[in-house]
Chains A and B, each alone.
Chain A
Amino acid sequence: MSFKKMNAALASLIILFASNAHAEAPTPENTIKVNAAFEFNSIDPSVSGYLYTRMQVLETLIDVDADGKLQAGLATSWSTSRDGLTWRLQLRDDVLFHNGDAMTAKDVVSSLNVAKRKQGPLRSAPIADISMGDTAQEVVITLTTPYKVLGAALAHYSASILPAGKYNFEDKLTELVGTGPYKLYEFKPPHKLVVEKFDQYWGQMASMPFASYLTGHRAEARVLQARSGQSDIVFGLDPAAAPMLARSNKVEIIKSKLPRTLVLKVNAAHPYLKEIEARQALSMAIERKGISMAVLRTPDSATTQLLPPSMSDWHISDAPSLDKNLDKARALLEQIGWKRNSDGMFERDGKPFALRLITYADRPELTTVATALQAQWKKLGVDLKVDITNSSAIPAGHQDGTLNLALIARNYGFIVDPLLTLIKDFGQESGGDWGSMNWHNPQIQVALKGLVNENNPDRYRATAQAFAEAVATELPVIPIASYTQQTSVNKRIEGFRFDPFERNFYLNKITIK
């Protein structure tokens, strides 16, 4: 190829890139750049809505504050009838969609009806009917049985409000139009999303014209993004890399507790795990402090409880000791007929105490913790085989009964009120895909399910505490550590706020120095 031709080719390549430029394009100066690990692949709120509420494109009727209390969102207020079967929600009257249309009760009824047919907490809510109320700004939800947690379900991203005409006859969303302070500007799944300030927002207007989200699959690349200043906010830092990043004078590391817990799911019908003593011995042999210090790098995250102190109804203040006690653990196993052989491993009726644990690679710490457990239980005298697989193997293993143990990171704040997740996980004897398995405690299980219509706060707390006690002593799952989210925030950012329920990045409150 001659030089002339090569020059012409280069010039056309440059023009190709330049033609992509927009008149008022996002620049590093006018854009808040966010980076995290999760991919998005659809505009449907039931699928990838977590990103659109966080990037403030979509909003829900009910909002949540940092303590998990419900607040007014697109609905200004709501009331429940005396029998608990009718909910009336008053809508804000000054809300415009990004296409300029005003939000009406019709849009809300359509959005909630679609959400009810799709994946999300509304699908399992006992809803008989969702309809428009007496006024244009009122929506009425009728239930078949009282359901106190409906507010929490309505605060979930899958219940975001979109214009009525945007869904086709198959409930497919044709365009992402929301009500939030930012509207969609560029949509390049699964990696890049750019949003632009919406000038007719009803609430606090965003001060930065643009915000962008980039999926960073590799933890190493995310740390480098933060260090180089090319991302302003980087979520989900690798615990091992965070101290190195903290020494940089460009960024600040923010540690926030999450209602997510690292737990061992236990098949309580397994011949070696059906006795409480066996589960207690396994729990007692776990070096929780070591795991939280060396793997999670947050020494105070070790726990024996399912839920964090911030969810005080569900947290027992005088919890059992965290300390490992091998002697006591061995004594417990000997009580139920296990004997140590010449290699120091436990045997009963000639069979070794051998178990299989499955976990998944989506979260890098899980595999490390799994191998730590393998080493720690070997010291106890229990042989553990670890299988790293896809997360879907856990619900599948629960359903077909083949699962022994699974190491999971369960998010109890996924729906703002943990009760809905707990009922799903522990509310029946068969258990839940991500919770107990064949755990038999009908009294606690029935009481737990009854809490969906418990109005007395004292009785509610008493039941919740009884549940937490039962989990701590009978160990249908074995909690190991709680999660701390480490976020890197560039010092040019002002007004960053972390949402422990991971619903919102609060971009509209951010300014750039």
Chain B
Amino acid sequence: MKDLLFKRCIQLIMVAWGVGTLTFILMRSLPGDMAYRLAASRYGQDNFDSSTAELIRHELKLDQSAWSAYFSWLGDLLQLNLGNSMVSDLPVMDTLSHMLGHSLLLAGVGMAIAILLAFPLGLWAAKYGGWADRLTLLFSTSVRALPVFVIGVLLILVFSLELELLPVAGFGTPAHLILPSLALAISLAAVSSRIIRNEAKRVFDSSFFEFAQIKGLSTRKAFQRHGWRNLLVPVIAFFAIQLITVVEGVVMIESLFSWPGIGHGLAHAIFARDIPIIQGAALLMGIMFVVLNTLVDIISYYLDPRIKQEFSE
């Protein structure tokens, strides 16, 4: 266990440096003048011209060399200072924690609803097969084929316009959270229900499961004692990967529902060439990836006795 955590700590430091450096190189090598981009984003299309771009170039010292910019960023990072946004001048940490908090809330609730939807669907399809399986496959394929944006609009049409139950967009109350997280959950459950179905089917068809039943356990008991653990290890690994896709991929949901999340914020920061925000967001996401993977490792460690053995050897 200590070994695992130590490895992950080293990985965390390498990821932070690697991601930051890579974003720095990528952003610097994009075509177009950064000062012009920043001017357009900061002052709006009606209120900027080349003289504004020069003003920004001077103010943000954009004409310094790439090396000196890189080392000043690295120095700040070592002091855990992510700097200020080049567009809003607000501290990157404040902006990102506001956005990441909202994204995590949305992702967390979305994942929770997705789990509530995906497990019954997946298990149902695996247990009964036939029509049940084909029906869930149809659901899964058709939802997957729709952009998540369309699911969102459909939900708004039903729950906000027809039934007038929930707000269309915005944030700040629990009611505002329901539609975006439901849209996200439906799109997530489409894939994860199939993974669960496959894993459950693998368990149901396995010889150890058959043996448990021959031993005299009811299907229910056999599933509780021998099914769950076997099924969960790959499913949990899949959910962990999915959470990352969720956090970075909710751009459409976030802009449709005016939700102040990191996906939307990062997309805007890239349009604006707001390098500190891009670097900070990439850094946080990298760290989150490592932390989540560590969590999954720890859960798997407790779920799967084979891993424990591996580490003790």
Contact = CB atoms under 8 A, between A and B. Distances in A.
Interface of A: 13-14, 17, 20, 38-39, 41-42, 44, 46-47, 50, 119-120, 172, 188-192, 214-218, 220-221, 224-225, 227-230, 360, 362, 390-393, 395-396, 398-399, 409, 411, 414, 424, 432-434
Contacts of B89: 42, 44, 172
A50 B43 CA distance: 10
Interface string B68-84: 00000000000000000
Contacts of B249: none
Interface in B65-102: 85, 87-90, 98
A188 B39 CA distance: 22
Contact of A395 (B36, B164, B171, B268): B36
Contact of B43 (A14, A47, A360): A47
Interface residues of B, number: 46
Interface of B: 32-33, 36-37, 39-40, 42-50, 52-53, 55, 85, 87-90, 98, 153, 156-157, 160-161, 164, 167-174, 255-258, 260, 264, 268, 271
Given A191-B260, A215-B258, A392-B36, 17 more contacts: A39-B268, A47-B42, A47-B43, A119-B43, A190-B260, A192-B171, A192-B172, A214-B258, A221-B168, A227-B161, A228-B161, A230-B169, A390-B32, A392-B37, A393-B32, A399-B50, A433-B49
B47 A42 contact: no
19 contacts: A17-B174, A41-B42, A119-B48, A191-B260, A192-B258, A214-B258, A217-B258, A217-B264, A221-B156, A221-B256, A224-B157, A225-B168, A228-B160, A228-B161, A390-B32, A390-B37, A391-B45, A392-B40, A392-B48
A342 B264 CA distance: 50
Contact of B260 (A188, A229, A411): A188
A360 B45 contact: yes
B80 to A, nearest CB: 22
Contacts of A398: 50
Contact of B255 (A217, A362, A434): A217
Could you tell me the dominant secondary structure of chain B's interface residues? helix
Contacts of A14: 174
Contact of B49 (A44, A46, A216, A432): A432
A218 B171 CA distance: 16
B49 A434 contact: yes
Contacts of A47: 42-43, 88
B48 A395 contact: yes
Contacts of B50: 395-396, 398-399, 433
A349 to B, nearest CB: 32
Nearest to A173: B89
Given A41-B87, A221-B257, A224-B160, A395 B49 contact: yes
B256 A218 contact: yes
Most chain A beta-carbon neighbours within 10 Å: one of B42, B48, B153, B169: B169
A20 B169 contact: no
Nearest to A186: B172
A119 B47 contact: yes
Nearest to A398: B50
Contacts of A433: 49-50
B45 A191 contact: no
A261 to B, nearest CB: 12
Contacts of A44: 89
Nearest to B152: A221
Given A224-B160, A362-B45, A392 B258 contact: no
Contacts of A391: 40, 45
A188 B168 CA distance: 19
B168 A38 contact: no
A409 B256 CA distance: 25
Contacts of A414: 46-47
Nearest to B252: A218
Given A119-B55, A221-B168, A38 B173 contact: no
A176 B44 CA distance: 20
B168 A224 contact: yes
Given A14-B174, A172-B89, A228 B36 contact: no
A407 to B, nearest CB: 13
Contacts of A20: 172
A214 B171 CA distance: 9
B164 A228 contact: yes
A425 B196 CA distance: 62
A434 to B, nearest CB: 7
Contact of B170 (A172, A192, A217): A192
B81 to A, nearest CB: 17
A224 B161 contact: yes
Contact of B88 (A17, A41, A434): A41
Contact of A221 (B43, B169, B260): B169
A228 B169 CA distance: 10
A-B pairs with lowest CB-CB distance, top 5: A392-B36, A41-B88, A433-B49, A392-B40, A217-B255
B90 A42 contact: yes
Contacts of A230: 160, 167-170
Contacts of A362: 45
Contacts of A46: 43
A191 B42 CA distance: 15
Contacts of A220: 153, 256
B224 to A, nearest CB: 15
Contacts of A119: 43, 47-48, 52, 55
Nearest to B98: A188
Contacts of B268: 39, 190
Given A216-B258, A218-B255, A230-B160, A392 B53 contact: yes
A395 B45 CA distance: 10
Contacts of A360: 45
A217 B173 CA distance: 20
A491 to B, nearest CB: 16
Contacts of A229: 164
B46 A411 contact: yes
Given A47-B43, A215-B258, A414-B47, A392 B167 contact: no
Contacts of B174: 13-14, 17
A396 B258 contact: no
Contacts of A38: 44
Contacts of B157: 224
A275 B40 CA distance: 32
B169 A216 contact: yes
Contacts of A214: 169-170, 258
Nearest to A49: B47
Nearest to B259: A191
Nearest to A40: B88
Most chain A beta-carbon neighbours within 10 Å: one of B40, B43, B45, B90: B45
A148 B223 CA distance: 86
Nearest to A425: B49
Contacts of B255: 217-218, 221
A420 B160 CA distance: 46
Contacts of A218: 255-256
A366 B50 CA distance: 22
A164 B108 CA distance: 45
